[in-house]
Every structure is written in C-alpha cells, then in structure tokens.
Structure 1
Amino acid sequence: MTHEIHGFCEPRFQPLADAFRANFEDGLEVGASLALTWRGKPVVDLWAGHADRAGTRAWERDTIMQVFSVSKIMLLMCVLRLADQDKLELDAPIATYWPAFGQNGKDRVTVRDLLTHRTGVPGFRPQVSFEDLHDWKVVTDNIAAQAPWFEDPRQLCYAPVTFGYMVGELVRRVDGRPVRRFFRDEFARKAKADFQLGLSKRADCDRVAEMVFVQAQSAGARDADLHSEVTNTTTTGDWESWDRRSAEIPSSNAYGNGRSVARLCAILAMAGRLGLRRYLSREAVEAAGREQAIGEDSYIGFIRYGLVLGLDNQAFPAPSPTTMHWGGVGGSWGVADPRARLSLGYVPNQLVMGVMPLLDTRLARFNAALTALIPALPK
C-alpha cells in the first residue's frame, strides 16, 4: 500500500526515510512521526498516516501522542539541571531532600540510585487506583512509606511509573515548582519544543492521536512474577478523559511528537548547549552517557545504564557505542549521541505491547539505518 509521507529529509539521511516508509508499507503503522537533528539542526522531519484507528483523521504536522516512558529522558534533564545549579547532590540520600522517603530502610538510597533504577520501589504497595494516580500526595506518601521490595535495596529494577513521582517530588522539594512546570519553564518553552508532562489545555486534546494497541509476545524480563506485579500495581480507567490527559504522572502521561522529542534530545546530543542557550553542563551530559550500572534488571532483563537511559549492549542495542536512548511502551523512542551530535525522536500511535523496544521491527529498522549512517557523518 502506498502512503503519502509528509515533511522533509536531507539526502544523506535518506535511509531513515526509507525505513519510515517501509514500516507503513508493511502495515506496521497507523500514524507516526520521525525526526532527526544533526549538529543541533533539523535534518529529517517526517509524518504520515492517520491519527485514528478508523482512518478518518490524518496525522498532521502538529499531531501529538502519548509517549509514555520517553518522558524519562526529560525527567533526567530536570535532575541534571538542578545538580548543575548546586541545588542537589547526586550522591546525597533522597531523604536529605525528602525526609519521609527514608522510612523502612530507604534512608541510604541516593539520588544516583534513583537515576540508575536502584531505589527498591518499582511499583505501588499497596496497589493504588487509577484515580489515585492523579493525587500527588497519595502516591508520594505510598512510595515514601514502602520498604524496599528486595533483600538488597540497590538491586536493579526499573520503575515504570514510580520513577516519575520520585523525581517529581525531589524537584518539587528542591525547587518549589511541580516537575511539569519546571520542565516547561527550563526546557520546553526555551527550546520551543511541543512536549508536555500532562496536557495544560483542553484544546490540545484535538491534536492527540488515538492509541491503537497490538499485542506481541512478552520478552526480556528476568522475573515474570515481579514484572506482572509492577505492571499491575494500579487499576485501569479512562485513558482519554481530561482528568487523565491533564494529570501530572511524569513517567508516562507525556505528550509530544518526533520533532519535539528529537529537539529535546538534541540538548544531550549537543553536550548541553542548543543554539545560543546552555541548558546543561558538558560534565552533566558526559556523566549521563557514562556507564553507571550494568547487570540483570529484574523488570527489563540485562542492561547497561548511564543515568536513567540505556547504553549500547547486545541485549539492548543502540546505534553507536556513544548513544544514550530510551523508549516508551508501545514504540516511541528518543536517542542522543553526543559524539555524532545527532538526536532522533520517533512517535507512533500503533502501540506494540509486551516487547522490548528494539525488538520492535520499526525501531530495529531505524536503529540499523542510524548504525550505518553515523560512521559516515563528517566529524
């Protein structure tokens, strides 16, 4: 089937456009956007398909979509910004800034532990309701009161949803602003990036693409029982309600498109400076891309972590050895390579569930294209 691809692609990056088109031709997409920056400038900006399952609404240039855990890239930048401002220390206990967090044996868990997925609080005990997720105090009190889930509190275990609340509460206590406002003020507005941690205007609902779910066979988790418990520590509800779309759920309720994800990842790709503005120190970005933890993650499987993000390894490959990247459930992907000065953002509305990001055929194609392109780029 022929699909009209909108936007532009500079000739040297044509393999990415070819991969984008192939995903549509093979029936792997409903609608999607893909963007790439190089040396801080947009060189690929593509969109195609439909924003709804029925195929009645075209995916437009300004269509946005829920990107789930891609927001962890933006949350990392918020923490690094505060560290650059000397408002928090990465090796200080979280309880230094949030005393209640130190309950039940978590008093030695540090900010760096949080940024390497070693807090021991990967989910909610007891389970919280869908509605409770909209109540900041309810969920942060739940997290603070928990004991570590593991004998070794620093066991690697990715925290899909609780991570965002922990980062958000740190930001709120250190800076005074809710994390979504801190992110908006310090990054999104200044970088002119159309990315939100929860929608701020009802009118933006008209731009949100409809989620189309495809179930794939689950793979990658070391501990299936724990994976299930973490995944199901909240009840379900209406994902398309205004209450949900406007809620501050930093790890998952984020909205953007390929262009805005690539634009924000360019801050990391450009060593903290984009255009005439410095957002992060070079040292902070270098630390983010340096291996901080490696091993079997109880939720994900084997992985190498920098700060928050994944680094290249056989089980979780990246386009280059100097790339840091993270995906959102269903397929969204953010990439930053400071050596190549390249960033990528990809956002679809057909969500492939239950599969590790780069086992998704769509992302594997983009990864292969970047792997071939990066060595040929002028230094």
Structure 2
Amino acid sequence: MVVAADAVQMDPQALDRVEDLFREQIARGSHPGAVLAVYRHGQPVLDLHGGMADAEAGKTVASDTMFVLYSSTKPLAAACVHILWERGKLDWDDPVAKHWPGFAKNGKEAVTLRHVLTHRGGFPETPPKLTWDKWQDWDAVVQAMEDIKPEYPAGAVFAYHPRNFGWVLAELVRRVDGRPFRDFLQEEVTGPLGMHDTFVGLPPSLEDRVSKEHAMEDCDRPSQVSMYNRPEVHQAVQPAGGGIATARDLARFYAMMERGGTLDGIRVLAPETVAEVTQLQVEGLDLTNERHSRRSLGLSLGDPRMGSSGTDDIRTFGHGGAGTSVGWADPDSGLAMAYITNGFRDDSTNYPRLAAMSQAVRDACR
C-alpha cells in the first residue's frame, strides 16, 4: 500500500508523469517488462509493474514477479559485512586471510576487506574453471577463490570485480559468523525488513515467478543473458550478481539505508554505520568498466543511472545491475528507488533509460 504523494511532499502530477514514462519505455520497446518502486522519507509512494515477463510465451509481469538483479545484488552482500563490522567481528583493514587462512594462497595475503569492498583486491576476473554449472557447489567456489592468482598487487588498481566480490564476502561472512551467507542475509536483512521476495539462492519452488531476461537488439552479451535464465543459476548463491527480487523489496532496502539503518521500527544498521559505509573510498578510472567511478565500502556513489540531485551527487549511493537495473538512496532528498527491467541493453542505451526514470522521480519532489 502506497501513501498519497502529498503526504511525502511529492507532486501528484509529476508522479503521474513518472508512471507515463514507465509505460512509455515499455511501449517503445526499451524492454519487454519492468517494475519500479519509490519511497520518500521511509514511506512507499509508488509501486508499478508492467509489460511482459516472457515476451515469447506471452506471460505478463504481475505484481509479485521477481527479476534477476545482476550486480544490483552487491549492496545486499555488502550489508551483511557491514553488520559484522558494526558488531566488532571484523575490521575494514583486516586481511581476508585473517579470517580465511586459505585465501592467502598465490599471493593474496595482503588483500584486505577494504580492498574487496572497493574493487581493489587485484583479482577481477572470474576463474575460467568456475563455470555457471559449478556455482551451486560452494566448496568448488571457495576452492576457486583460494586458488585464484591476482592480476594486480592488493590495493594498487581500481578494477571492478563482477563476481569474485560476492563470493569472497559471502565466505567471509560464513567464516566469521558461522551461518551460511544465504541464512545470514535472510535472518539479518531481508527477513526483518519484510523483503520476502528477495533471494540469493532461489528456492526451486519459486522459479515460475521469475521474469525471463531478454537480450535486446544492442546487447553484446547474449550468452550471459541466456545463462541468467537458467534455474541452476537462479538457485546458486552468487552474491555479486545472482540475486532475485522485486523492485518493491529492493526499494525497501534502500529506504532502510536512507533512514539511517532503521525502517518501520526495524533496525538493521546503526546510523553511524550507514554514514561510515557510504563515504567515498576510491575515485577514478575503473579498468574493468573503462569509466570513471566512485565507490564507498560496497556501494557506488553518484552513478549517472541515479539521476542528478542538482547539488552533491556523491551523497547518492546505490548500485546498478548490468544492462538492466538500478537502485539508490539519496539522504538529502529522502528518496529511495529501485527500477528493474528485463531487457538487457548496451550501456549506451541502458544508462539513459535508467537515468531518465531516476531523474523523473527526483523531479517529482517538492
């Protein structure tokens, strides 16, 4: 149930224009289907769904349809580590090997948690032997992370780690806390917040609720899109890019962050922790994505897909998902938003469609 726009100082007519843009992007073929959710000041103000979940089969997007998050999953993994830091179980500058001795293998003894969270660990490439059909074998994942040889010295190079980021954080959570990552996430983050349609490791019984991913005409990674339509990939614990969720849930996560770690009386993080983990840590050319980026401890700052606040965009934090989605929070405006599509596009068309939606939401604020 959403609140009236006036109750959170938003313009009802401007929110109508947001919905018009949402429908227009589907109608003009930007993507077959999508979901959009917006919070302001901790209150849900918009919850939209539309288009086709499976264009070929003629299956429409329903209110409970879940979508692949790709790297929009990463902040969920980071939040688990943020909780452990707040509880004094680890420190940002701890070598990963302090908690996971086998990780030191092949010259990774100097890699710290801070390096991993800021994509400066030096091992950005997914090991070739760790193909999608092995992702459900956690022992194989752990062994691959131990065996990996860094391409760069720890802390020396800013290069996005598309998948290794999540596997390392998840095993670190298990080593420090004792619970498997999937259980920790559910018990400490998604469960308390009522994010009942968010999974990193989808139960097989829910497979029919997941939207199909569609490779659009400018997609240069059709094989990746096909891979992320496999039930085996949905069911694997892949915390850097394998999350499945609704926009409603993802926006709720960001509303919690925007509110300083507590939403509807449920505290996930302390305000001081949220402030700590959203501070700029690294800025510059990301050698993996070949674009200028800014990162905090597990989050992207001022990403162009998040629109512009008109003041200090670095205050906006969140993350995008390859070719499809973005989620973010802006504590200055009180906004939290998630926009997830099922049409995988090249950055040249994906960034503008996501940025347009983010900006339309921003422009609806009074």
The TM-score with structure 1 as length reference comes to 0.86
- Equivalent in the alignment of 2:56: 54
How far 1:68 moved relative to its partner? Answer: 1.0
- Take 1:249 and 1:105, find their aligned partners in 2: how far apart are those partners? 24
Equivalent of 2:26 in 20, 24, 42: 24
- Take 1:214 and 1:295, find their aligned partners in 2: how far apart are those partners? 30
Whether 1:159 aligns to 2:161 is yes
- Take 2:227 and 2:212, find their aligned partners in 1: how far apart are those partners? 13
In 1, are the aligned partners of 2:103 and 2:109 still within 8 Å (CA)?
A: yes
Counterpart mapping for 1:354-369 below 5 A:
354-355=346-347, 359-369=350-360
Distance 1:82 1:169, change over 3 A: same
Whether 1:143 aligns to 2:145 is yes
Distance 1:126 1:241, change over 3 A: closer
- Equivalent in the alignment of 2:320: 327
Secondary structure of the corresponding residue to residue 50 of structure 1: strand
Is the deviation greater in 188-197 or in 304-313? 304-313
- Equivalent in the alignment of 2:340: 347
- Take 2:226 and 2:219, find their aligned partners in 1: how far apart are those partners? 24
- Equivalent in the alignment of 1:299: 288
Aligned-partner residue type, residue 296 of structure 2: G
- Equivalent in the alignment of 1:224: none
Distance 1:139 1:203, change over 3 A: closer
Distance 1:309 1:128, change over 3 A: same
In 2, are the aligned partners of 1:262 and 1:345 still within 8 Å (CA)?
A: yes
Unpaired runs of 5+ in structure 1?
Answer: 1-6, 219-230
Distance 1:29 1:236, change over 3 A: closer
Equivalent of 1:258 in 233, 244, 247: 247
Distance 1:180 1:37, change over 3 A: same
1:22-57 Cα offsets, whole Å, 9 max, x none, are: 212322121111000111111000111111112622
How far 1:99 moved relative to its partner? Answer: 1.0
How far 1:184 moved relative to its partner? Answer: 0.7
How far 1:183 moved relative to its partner? Answer: 0.6
Secondary structure of the corresponding residue to residue 104 of structure 1: coil
Whether 1:273 aligns to 2:250 is no
- CA-atom RMSD in angstroms: 2.6
Distance 1:319 1:289, change over 3 A: farther
- Take 2:120 and 2:171, find their aligned partners in 1: how far apart are those partners? 17
Counterpart mapping for 1:299-318 below 5 A:
299-300=288-289, 301-312=291-302, 318=307
- Take 1:32 and 1:192, find their aligned partners in 2: how far apart are those partners? 21
Secondary structure of the corresponding residue to residue 105 of structure 1: coil
Secondary structure of the corresponding residue to residue 134 of structure 1: coil
Unpaired runs of 5+ in structure 2?
Answer: 6-11
- Take 1:176 and 1:136, find their aligned partners in 2: how far apart are those partners? 15
Counterpart mapping for 1:1-379 below 5 A:
10=5, 11=12, 13-54=15-56, 56-151=58-153, 153-193=155-195, 194-200=197-203, 202-216=204-218, 239-300=228-289, 301-312=291-302, 318-320=307-309, 321=313, 322-352=315-345, 354-355=346-347, 359-374=350-365, 376=366
Distance 1:359 1:66, change over 3 A: closer
Secondary structure of the corresponding residue to residue 109 of structure 2: coil
Distance 1:235 1:196, change over 3 A: closer
In 2, are the aligned partners of 1:239 and 1:245 still within 8 Å (CA)?
A: yes
- Take 2:154 and 2:94, find their aligned partners in 1: how far apart are those partners? 19
Secondary structure of the corresponding residue to residue 240 of structure 2: coil
Distance 1:236 1:327, change over 3 A: closer
How far 1:217 moved relative to its partner? Answer: 6.8
How far 1:72 moved relative to its partner? Answer: 0.4
Is the deviation greater in 341-350 or in 125-134? 125-134
How far 1:242 moved relative to its partner? Answer: 3.7
Aligned-partner residue type, residue 207 of structure 2: C
How far 1:89 moved relative to its partner? Answer: 0.9
User: When the two structures are aligned, how many residues end up with a matched partner?
Assistant: 353
Distance 1:245 1:152, change over 3 A: closer
Distance 1:298 1:238, change over 3 A: closer
